Amino acid sequence: MPRLELTDSELCVHLLWWEKLSALSGDVHVPLGQVRGATEDDGFGGSALGLRLPGTRIPGVLAAGTFINHGDRQFILTRRTLRTIVIELTNAKWTRLVIGVRDPHDVATRINAAVAHLHEGS
């Protein structure tokens, strides 16, 4: 399962070796200033993935890598045993990160609090 880490300036998505292999990507690092917010999204499904470029998709089991849907570039790493959060980005390599986690409410709350804290300091 990907591990999300928040610092004062960055959101990091740390991937296990097999996740890096299936996503054809390394760990993902996004400046916190480019994060707009995060939401729980258990309804995120196969039709929202779009075209896989590059990565791995096993329908109903795993989606990992970069997917392009309606011109939006998304980094996706989720599998059927996890629940999904969607992290919206601005001026970044991807439009959004779609990440499978065990507790989406807690993770989304922590990300949104970090983003709010960053904007309070501006």
Is residue 98 scored above 80 in pLDDT?
yes
CA–CA separation, 13 vs 97, rounded Å?
9
How do residues 5-49 score in pLDDT, each as one tens digit? 999 899 999 999 999 999 999 999 999 999 999 999 876 666 678
Give the range of the structural domain holding residue 71, as residue numbers without chain letter: 3-120
Domain count, the chain: 1
Neighbours of 99 (CB within 10 A): 25
CATH number at residue 7: 2.30.29
pTM given for the model:
0.92
Contact by Cβ (8 Å): 78, 23: no
